[in-house]
Amino acid sequence: MPDDQARGLLNNAANIIWERVKARLLTLDRQSVVERAIGNDYAIYRDRATWQLTAAALLSLYEDQADVIAGANQREGQRGLAALASRVIAEMAVCVSPVGSGSQCSTADLDYLVANVSILLECSSQSDAIHYRLSSRPLVIEPNGTFTFDTTFHQALHAPYMHSHGERGFRAAAASYGDAFNNSDSEVKALDPKYETAFLDEFGLSPRQLMEFTFRMADIAVGARRETFVLFRSEVEEHLKQLGVAGPSLASEVLTLKPRARWDDPKPKNAKPRDWYPWRFNRRLSLMRRALVQLEDATDPRVLIAPALLDRSVEYLIAGSYAGRLPVELFASTTMRAWIGSAVDKEGHEFNHDVAARFKELGFEARPDVKLTELGGTPAMGDVDVLAWKPGTGIVFATECKRLLFARTVAEIGERLQEYTVVAAPGEDRTPIQKHVDRISFLRTACPALSRITGIPADKIVLRSALVTDYLVPMQFLKDAGKLVDVIVDISLLDTAI
């Protein structure tokens, strides 16, 4: 089937599955669905934590570590899909399921909903694979009506990339096993005052106040012996007020996922469609961004609170925003957006120095942040993030250093590959890698200037381009990624690539 028809068919299939899910949600009480879905997500989180605590034991107990890692990756893949589906079901139910009527959500209901949302996610992912030209074979419709997808992309790139992430995480958990039982006080670093101002502008309360609110909600849950409980919005705001929050209404507003007339609203208020797309991460209309769940439209509505989910959301928001690890589109205030931009610049500059230091450890001479004007270029050409050279060999690496957001989904991987393996056609927006490609083209004509810096005779220089990232990226698993850049590697594997 041609790709354009295949995408239409897959999108229609996703819509049909959504209608199937919606029909079941319309028969179920809203609060019971949200509680069950969030409870399932929390059970999956606990299972993941248990595996992390036993990682060291498993690697020590079994000689076949590859088999242990493969089992852990398989389990994590199942956990990830089921957890995402569970959170999406809660997000759907807030908009669809009736309040105060309908059946209680049973285990069978949750199984049905998780299974269908998982299929919806798969159809959407396959549609994205076609859109980003990641599929090498067309979709096949079998005689019995089932779909046969092209798995080449999954087997050759997506699975190895995600499994490598999983292996690193599993081994890191094993290596840090003792830390879980270390009660010694560690140094607590003060947050940058500019960040605290940006956070206050964005959320209506300080990071400390948000953490104190989370602790207070956890105490209530422990006292009630419940994973979730319900407060009226006025009670939520009273708790915030008692913690010294000057704008409790704003704080509760930006932390709460509210009912909408349509879950799949094509023009959601103060958001974009991708903010509810379940096959996307870092969404503004997600439980990870808004962990308090408003159950109804009322003057003083009830709000469902799951302290474990709230705690994960707080960690996600604070740690991610402070380090510039979340997309700027996730935030509304100009101060927080400015902070994200400055954090990206600051962390990127520091990463340049980290890469230069790593080159030196590997026997190279290296300089970070080399301006092209020093080599005869124009100010518009910018900098070479790291120039590294080894006089005895004549090799000179002009290195682009990037701290990139973790690309999880097929769409995110497709976007990342387009950014760093494709040069835009004339008239189209330039891709992020193009400035580096242009700098390399200029440097090939500037060997005398490179010679002055490196001490390598101009006719002996062997110029190579490199893209070094702070962590694994999809381009490392693409066979023809080297068409634009000679070396693509994360810093931990730099020694293997040069």
d(CA 423, CA 418): 8
pLDDT at 58 over 60: yes
- What pLDDT digit, counting tens, does each position of 157-204 carry? 888 888 888 888 877 777 776 665 555 555 557 889 999 999 999 999
Per-residue pLDDT at 373: 94
The whole-chain average pLDDT of the chain stands at 90
Stronger pLDDT, 478 or 458, i.e. the higher one: 458
pLDDT tens string 366-402: 999 999 999 999 998 889 999 999 988 999 999 999 9
User: For residues 336 and 199, what is the distance between their CA atoms, to the nearest angstrom?
Assistant: 6
The rounded distance, in Å, linking the Cα atoms of 104 and 56 is 41
**Minimal CA–CA distance to 253: which of 240, 272, 266, 262?**
240
What is the three-class DSSP state of 9?
helix
CA-to-CA dists, residue 474 to 408, 489, 494, angstroms: 9, 10, 16
Lowest-pLDDT choice from 19-28, 160-169, 288-297: 160-169
First to last CA, the chain: 43
- Check residue 72 and give its pLDDT: 80
Q: Which domains does the chain have, with CATH numbers?
A: 3-181 (no CATH), 193-332 (no CATH), 350-497 (3.40.1350)
* The pLDDT of residue 453 is above 70: yes
Q: Distance between CA 128 and CA 14 in Å, rounded?
A: 12
Model's pTM, two decimal places?
0.88
Instruction: Map residue 251 onto helix, strand or coil.
Output: helix
Neighbours of 353 (CB within 10 A): 15
Angstrom distances, CA of residue 378 to CA of 70, 276, 304, 344, 456: 50, 43, 57, 24, 23
Condensed to tens digits (0 to 9), the pLDDT of residues 196-206 reads 999 999 999 99
Q: Name the more confident of 479 and 471.
A: 471
For residue 235, the surrounding DSSP H or E stretch is: helix 233-242
